[in-house]
Chains A and B, each alone.
Chain A
Amino acid sequence: KAGVTQTPRYLIKTRGQQVTLSCSPISGHRSVSWYQQTPGQGLQFLFEYFSETQRNKGNFPGRFSGRQFSNSRSEMNVSTLELGDSALYLCASSLATGTNTGELFFGEGSRLTVL
């Protein structure tokens, strides 16, 4: 069974640009969550999508957005990049339905560097 796949793994952008990151969840998982990881702030929750709807949202500015497609693949977009957006962006999928108490399965992450 294929794991969570994130693309691209590494990317470099300059301030003011925008970026789109992609995440393909494990087959059958309908929930996809995104996290930002930085040395100073740790693991910060961005948002979660379930069946194409945003179910949970963290405390990030509107420059951070996401969406989920009918096949459960998800993308996140960051517009008007700032230096502080440099981070490892992690995607995680899970079953997360009803009484399911399943764990999160993480991808390897997309490391974004903003110059």
Chain B
Amino acid sequence: AQSVAQPEDQVNVAEGNPLTVKCTYSVSGNPYLFWYVQYPNRGLQFLLKYITGDNLVKGSYGFEAEFNKSQTSFHLKKPSALVSDSALYFCAVRDSGTYKYIFGTGTRLKVLA
């Protein structure tokens, strides 16, 4: 069965420091991987996706993610965090056969000024 794990409920980082939000996955076949962000009382917004190609994927708002097939990971990164990046982040995998998306439990990012 396909699954996604976000091992950290919350990540704290100081403004200006690099940030990493972790995600590991388990799929059969090629993974379609996504990151979404949710601000308070809003829906989820797409950040980036990995389908194929370069292992480093660049997305919106300066975020990027690194796909690592051997470690089955897709960690979200940003070189310099902003207070405005504070939000809830979800990793997701899409089943290539059923088109069903499976979301992780979410990681709350807090960027401290």
Contacts and interface: CB of A to CB of B under 8 A. Distances in A.
**A and B together in one complex:** yes
Interface of A: 4, 31, 33, 35, 42-43, 45, 48, 50, 55-56, 90, 92, 96, 101, 103-109, 111
Contacts of A106: 36, 43-45
Q: Which of A4, A42, A92, A103 has the most CB of B within 10 A?
A: A103
Interface residues of B, number: 23
Given A43-B90, A56-B99, A105 B51 contact: no
Interface of B: 32, 34, 36, 41-46, 49, 51, 90, 92, 94, 98-106
B101 A104 contact: yes
A13 to B, nearest CB: 19
Contact of B99 (A48, A103, A111): A48
B105 to A, nearest CB: 5
A42 to B, nearest CB: 5
Contacts of B49: 101, 103
Nearest to B46: A103
Contacts of B94: 101
A92 B43 CA distance: 9
Looking at chain A's contact residues, the main secondary structure is strand
A106 B88 CA distance: 15
B109 to A, nearest CB: 16
B99 A43 contact: no
A45 B44 CA distance: 14
Contact of A107 (B43, B98, B102, B105): B43
A103 B34 contact: yes
B103 A43 contact: yes
B105 A109 contact: no
A107 to B, nearest CB: 5
Given A55-B99, A90-B44, A103-B49, 16 more contacts: A31-B99, A42-B104, A43-B90, A43-B106, A45-B101, A55-B98, A96-B99, A101-B51, A103-B46, A104-B34, A104-B36, A104-B92, A106-B43, A106-B45, A108-B41, A108-B43
